[in-house]
């Protein structure tokens, strides 16, 4: 398998995109939960302004952020729809990630001559 590498600037850009995708997915999930809670109380979503719902979602995210971000990371890692936002290390391999024997610097010709 061929090894593909990214420039340091591209790696930083991919990490930033991943973090943003996780944050957006977590906030979207918090909004859906808040909306479900409003409906569970028997109220209508239209009784609330977008600002109020966003404020409630941000509060919910502040309380349950770790769980929501973990769910978002899992979604990005497993869903084909989010391939673009996966971490670079999930798509690329380097020789440093492989556990193998050290490469010998002695050539096979030198080894044959030693016998």
Pull the structure tokens for residue 27: 């906030």
User: Model pTM?
Assistant: 0.68
Given a cut of 70, the residues of the chain with pLDDT beneath it are: 1-4, 88-115
Q: Give the tens place of pLDDT for each residue, 91-102.
A: 544 444 455 555
Per-residue pLDDT, 11: 81
Total number of residues shown for the chain: 115
- The structure tokens 């096979």 sit at 108
Residue 17: how many CB atoms within 10 A of its CB?
15
Per-residue pLDDT, 114: 56
Per-residue pLDDT, 26: 96
* Extents of the domains making up the chain: 7-81
Give CA–CA dist 40/33, Å, rounded. 10
Per-residue pLDDT, 92: 45
Q: Closest Cα partner for 62 from 101, 99, 106, 30?
A: 30
């Amino acid at each position: 398998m061929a090894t593909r590498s990214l420039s340091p600037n591209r790696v930083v850009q991919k990490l930033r995109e991943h973090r943003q995708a996780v944050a957006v997915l977590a906030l979207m999930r918090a909004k859906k939960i808040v909306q479900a809670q409003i409906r569970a109380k028997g109220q209508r979503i239209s009784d609330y302004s977008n600002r109020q719902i966003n404020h409630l979602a941000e509060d919910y995210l502040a309380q349950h952020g770790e769980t929501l971000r973990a769910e978002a990371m899992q979604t990005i890692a497993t869903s084909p729809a989010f391939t673009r936002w996966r971490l670079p290390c999930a798509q690329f391999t380097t020789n440093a990630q492989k556990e193998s024997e050290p490469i010998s610097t002695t050539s096979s010709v030198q080894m044959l001559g030693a016998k």
